[in-house]
């Protein structure tokens, strides 16, 4: 069963669901909660691009990801490129609540795809890693604290 706006709000107020920071008036929707982009992101270094012709699953080069930050002027995600970013919110749910992560529709219209959309699982706790891909033909400027995704809460029985 997908939780309604009133049920999500109730569970947040009694501490069963924890979201920090939270602007409940800005983020709470009819049956979901908007997640915002933090300023932290990770990307492959551009100077390595010519040297890396293929990523190997057994050696995925995750140790060479560069940590970067979104400035007040935003971060430009070029076409056919992706970044790893984090949610601004730290989220904690009990073992009887699943989370489903999806892109905000307004970002779909720009060609942005959340590669890792889907189930996060009951009992999730932490910042949400967002794998954001620009499938469009134009660069897209992303801003910190931008509503980038939404989570739907589902009761597990």
pLDDT tens-digit series, residues 40-99: 998 877 666 555 666 667 766 556 778 889 999 999 999 999 899 999 999 999 999 999
Task: Return phi, psi of residue 145, to 5°.
Answer: 70, 10
Q: Would you place residue 22 in the very low, low, confident or very high pLDDT band (cuts 50, 70, 90)?
A: very high
Hey, what CATH topology would domain 5-49+60-155 get?
Answer: Deoxyuridine 5'-Triphosphate Nucleotidohydrolase; Chain A (2.70.40)
Torsion angle of the four alpha carbons 139, 145, 146, 150, in this order, in degrees rounded to the nearest 10: 120
Q: Which helix (H) or strand (E) holds 128?
A: strand 125-134
**How far apart, in whole angstroms, are the C-alpha atoms of residue 63 and residue 79?**
24
Domain residue ranges of the chain, discontinuous segments joined by +: 5-49+60-155
Q: What is the pTM of this model?
A: 0.85
Task: Return phi, psi of residue 95, to 5°.
Answer: -65, -10
For the segment 116-153, what is each residue's pLDDT rounded down to a tens digit? 888 998 999 999 999 999 999 999 999 999 999 999 99
Q: Which helix (H) or strand (E) holds 134?
A: strand 125-134
**How far apart, in whole angstroms, are the C-alpha atoms of residue 20 and residue 29?**
17
């Amino acid at each position: 069963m997908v939780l309604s706006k009133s049920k999500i709000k109730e569970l947040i107020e009694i501490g069963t669901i924890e979201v920090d920071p939270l602007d409940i008036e800005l983020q709470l929707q009819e049956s979901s909660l908007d997640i915002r982009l933090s300023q932290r992101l990770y990307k492959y270094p551009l100077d390595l691009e010519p040297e890396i012709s293929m990523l190997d699953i057994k050696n995925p080069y995750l140790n060479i990801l560069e940590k970067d930050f979104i400035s007040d002027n935003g971060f430009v995600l070029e076409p056919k490129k992706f970044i790893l970013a984090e949610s601004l919110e730290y989220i904690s749910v009990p073992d009887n609540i699943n989370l489903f992560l999806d892109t905000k529709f307004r970002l779909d219209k720009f060609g942005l795809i959340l590669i890792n959309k889907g189930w996060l699982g009951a009992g999730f706790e932490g910042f949400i890693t967002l794998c954001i891909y620009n499938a469009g033909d134009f660069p897209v400027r992303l801003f910190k604290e931008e509503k980038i995704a939404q989570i739907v809460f589902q009761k597990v029985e």
